[in-house]
Amino acid sequence: MGQESDKTHENNLLEETARKFREMNLLQILMDNIPDTIYFKDIKSRFILINKAQCQTIGVKSSEEAFGKTDFDFFTPEHAKAAYEDEQKIVATGVPVIGKVERIRTADGKFRWVTCTKVPIRDKNDRIIGIVGISRDITELKEMEESLRKSEERLQEVNMSLQLRCEELARLKEEVDLANKALLQSNVDLENYTYVVSHDLKAPLRAIKAFTTFLAEDYKDKLDENAQEYINRIVKAVSNMEHMIEDLLILSRVGRKYINVEEVDLNKLMEEIIFDLDPVIKKRNGLVKYKDLPKIRIQRVWIKQLFMNLIDNGLKFNKSEKPTVEVSCEEKDNEFVFKVADNGIGIDKKYYDRLFKIFERLHTEEEYEGTGAGLAICKRIADHFQGRIWVESEVGKGSTFYLTLPKTVNVQNTDKVKENNKK
């Protein structure tokens, strides 16, 4: 009876920990689009949530297959034991493991080198409820470092009087230094993952972009056209992911970053927006018009972000000789109804339900640049202000976005709520 009670208690603890992790849904999109392996565990080192990269590493099809299991189910006993000891030490002391270099065997039987960072996760009462771990594959860096080291040893045996050999030796030595610095930078980036819950996810992408650039520059004479094309695709993909993360961070900050409500003259705000978008307006030969906009009490930074996104979209998705966006407002009893109308390409009604979803694109990047997050950000801001946003459009004739805002904006800051709950 006691064993069953203990088992029930253990299962309850596991499910409770899982529930708390599921509250972090914002990270799931990022996790599955990052090449590093990311995993969350409870205080007994059991998997709660993992990303796609970790699924591939341990040989499962989904995060659910790993739920409740440990490293002993997937890795060699030696590695599993060392990982378990590290994690239990973190749980006991709260001290993270930063940039630990490990050699692991993946599900396909191959051995890989990784740098691993693990940090404790605490609940609102500052109790440790588990850990988050991030591992980056540095196998290629290790192989490059070893290859360069051997090359340097061979070159040191060559006749130093030959200038060509001397230059080659200097070049290879410089590459060794760059590889070592890159490895150190990788560890710094992994350390920054300590703040993953605060959305600091740009560092690894910068590192990937930097390493790829090093490879392209240092080996440009040795790489064929296919390799150069692959590198260009990597750089483009990383840049796109950076923009996606920035958009997600903006999305996540709405309602979280503490900002005072203030009276905002929307006519003056439009002047600021037009000034900020001046390069875009000139490039597209565009025109932005507005008239008789009210003064409202609101959080300035978010209402500016919303109108900038709508105006930028109206200019971007536009094939007319003079792209034009007009902003107007109708005052009603308890709310303002804003209209942002353009003479752009228009939107088919069958796509209305997709417009305000994160990273939903109706066109290719080659046709129109962007991540597809702009309208999702607008929707989040409108919801934050207890407003509504929708579109009416006709293909080839333009679109009109409608935004309602209550005259009395009652916003509650998420961070402030959390802070008050701790008191």
pLDDT > 90: percent of the chain: 31
Distance CA 87, CA 113 (A): 19
CATH number, domain 262-414: 3.30.565.10
pLDDT at 85: 95
Domain ranges of the chain: 11-137, 140-253, 262-414
Lowest mean pLDDT among 71-75, 86-90, 290-294, 342-346: 342-346
Strand intervals (E) in 273-396: 287-290, 295-298, 324-331, 335-342, 388-394
Q: Are 244 and 227 in contact (CB under 8 A)?
A: no
pLDDT in tens, 195-242: 343 345 555 666 666 767 767 677 677 667 777 776 776 766 666 565
Q: Are 400 and 314 in contact (CB under 8 A)?
A: no
Residue 42 — very low, low, confident or very high, per pLDDT cuts 50/70/90? Answer: very high
Does position 65 have pLDDT exceeding 70, yes or no? yes
pLDDT at 277: 87
Looking at 3.30.450.20, 3.30.420.40, 3.40.190.10, 2.60.40.10, the CATH number of the domain 11-137 comes to 3.30.450.20
pLDDT in tens, 346-397: 887 877 777 777 655 554 454 545 455 678 888 888 888 888 989 888 888 8
| Higher-confidence position of 363 and 91 | 91
Secondary structure (3-state) at 226: helix
